[in-house]
């Protein structure tokens, strides 16, 4: 089922431990080899100050999330996913715009990410945002597929 939603109704909010049940539902439907909930919990630990986890919330429901970190002037997008019934409505664009703005205003001038060479939806998304292929990691994923390393320079 496709659900029509005005993007202005979506709130981007810090991920909390209480969000993990809903986040895991999206994670499991989004990836053949999903992150374990304990990994999200580790990243959410207050000591991990360089890690940033944000959810897209529509009313009380989580419909997507993005995970990124900042390190020595570089941003890294680690994860982004949108619930299947909310895809193709601009939610990933909203999350990625938020992440890139955050990274840019917090002293990074370049962003990297890895994406499966077979993930055409994500490759289209990143291309729209000006990411370019920087390298390729052979057999990066558990199914043996390769990843592109994508890079985008920011305009600080
Ligand atoms: C990739 C993903 C996050 C996109 O989320 P989304 O909310 O549907 O994306 P948006 O609606 O914001 O679309 C943004 C752009 O992405 C591209 N895109 C998204 N889905 C696409 C698809 N199925 N086929 C081709 N391009 C697609 C398009 O360029 C689109 O722009 P357009 O609508 O102007 O053409 C979503 O498909 C998803 O959760 N996939 C599983 C998880 C995943 O692969 N994450 C990326 C890991 S690197």
What phi, psi does 62 have (nearest 5°)? -85, 130
Centre of ligand 1 to C-alpha 127, Å, is: 11
Closest residue by Cα to atom 25, ligand 1, is: 121
The residues lining ligand 1, judged by C-beta closer than 6 Å to any ligand atom, are: 30, 80-82, 87-93, 115, 119-122, 124-125, 128
Q: What is the pLDDT of residue 6?
A: 77
Q: How is residue 51 written in tokens?
A: 């890690």
Q: What is the pLDDT of residue 87?
A: 97
Closest residue by Cα to atom 12, ligand 1, is: 90
Centre of ligand 1 to C-alpha 18, Å, is: 26
Which of 4, 81, 92, 151 to probe ligand 1 with, by most ligand atoms within 8 A of CB? 92
Homologous superfamily of 7-153: Gcn5-related N-acetyltransferase (GNAT) (3.40.630.30)
Closest residue by Cα to atom 24, ligand 1, is: 121
CA 38: distance to chain centroid?
18
How far apart, in whole angstroms, are the C-alpha atoms of residue 53 and residue 71?
A: 15
Q: Where do we find the tokens 């994860």?
A: 79
| Segments of the chain with pLDDT less than 50 | none
Distances (CA, A) of 94 to 71, 73, 82, 146: 23, 23, 11, 27
112-123 pLDDT tens trace: 999 999 999 999
Q: What is the pLDDT of residue 144?
A: 93
What DSSP assignment string belongs to the chain?
A: ------GGGEEEEE--GGGHHHHHHHHHHH-SSPPPHHHHHHHHSTT-TTEEEEEEEETTEEEEEEEEEEETTEEEEEEEEE-GGGTTSSHHHHHHHHHHHHHHHTT--EEEEEEETT-HHHHHHHHHTT-EEEEEETT-STTS--EEEEEEE---
């Amino acid at each position: 089922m496709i659900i029509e939603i005005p993007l202005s109704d979506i709130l981007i909010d810090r991920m909390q431990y209480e969000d993990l049940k809903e986040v895991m539902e999206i994670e499991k439907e989004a990836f053949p080899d999903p992150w374990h909930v304990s990994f999200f919990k580790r990243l959410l630990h207050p000591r991990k100050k360089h890690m940033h986890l944000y959810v897209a919330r529509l009313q009380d429901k989580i419909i997507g999330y993005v995970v990124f970190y900042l390190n020595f002037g570089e941003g890294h997008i680690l994860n982004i996913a949108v619930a299947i019934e909310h895809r193709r409505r601009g939610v990933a664009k909203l999350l990625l715009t938020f992440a890139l703005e955050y990274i840019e205003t917090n002293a990074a001038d370049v962003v990297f990410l890895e994406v499966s060479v077979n993930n055409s939806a994500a490759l289209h998304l990143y291309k729209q945002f000006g990411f370019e292929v920087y390298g390729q990691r052979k057999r990066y994923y558990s199914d043996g597929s390769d990843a592109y390393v994508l890079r985008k320079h920011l305009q600080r």
